[in-house]
Amino acid sequence: MLHSPTERPRPEPACRVQDLPRERLARFGATALRDEELLAIVLGTGVKGMSVIDVASAVLFRYPPEQLVTMELSSLEDLRGLGRAKAGMLVAAFELARRGLGQGLGLLPCINGPADALPLLTEIKDQRKEFFLCLYLNARNQLIHKEVVSIGSLSASIVHPREVFQMAVTKSAASILLAHNHPSGDVSPSRDDVDLTRRLQRAGEIMGVDILDHLIIAADQFLSLKEQGYM
């Protein structure tokens, strides 16, 4: 189609207004929105070369929702598209939600044994590398923080007590439940697994933080070092 010199074709919008997250929130309610749409609304704007949906999707690719809500500012501010200001907004929003829906109503997950912990470990069970994850609990055995402390190779994960207990001090945790995956699918503990567990137990005694258990998980099975008598 030809246009006069003074008439320019209008660019097609990137998406229809009614498809934007805020519009969908107003029309259908929060429960109808995808995770990336909800996060995009909180973030507000994107950055050069990335729409706000792109930023939200990238963040959720790195940290799924159940892990994102436990992350510290230092872990988020270096993600592309966030920076300190937006990372701070997320951390503040998640903390407010925890206070309102968690501690205020007594709804923090309570970890009394492996069965309670396993639903919180699903993101590492199928990983091709070893992920060492810690569940930090308060004096009532309620989850107050979850963090991947170390990511190792296919055959080994290197964990230093400092990395485990630094967050325990920051969060005033009373105890920690340790967990890591075995990409091989064999949950039998190695000598290194047992030695590391006992090393962390000794450090915990000095720090005044109990190590409740150490779970080894794979795709469809798990092993508790405590139940097997290694602790």
Return per-residue pLDDT of the chain as tens, 231 residues: 444 445 454 444 444 434 588 888 888 787 778 888 889 998 888 888 888 999 899 888 888 887 787 777 888 888 888 888 888 888 888 877 766 655 544 567 889 999 999 988 888 888 888 999 999 999 889 898 888 888 886 555 678 899 899 989 988 899 999 999 999 999 999 999 999 999 999 999 999 999 999 999 998 899 999 999 998
Q: Residue 76: what are its φ and ψ, rounded to 5°?
A: -100, -30
| pLDDT computed for residue 154 by the predictor | 55
| pLDDT computed for residue 197 by the predictor | 94
| pLDDT computed for residue 105 by the predictor | 46
Would the pTM count as exceeding 0.85? no
Q: Tokens 């290197």 — which residue? A: 158
Cα–Cα distance between 164 and 207 in angstroms, integer? 11
Q: Are strands 175-181 and 222-224 parallel, antiparallel or unpaired?
A: unpaired
| pLDDT computed for residue 223 by the predictor | 95
CB distance 143 to 109 below 8 Å = yes
| pLDDT computed for residue 117 by the predictor | 93
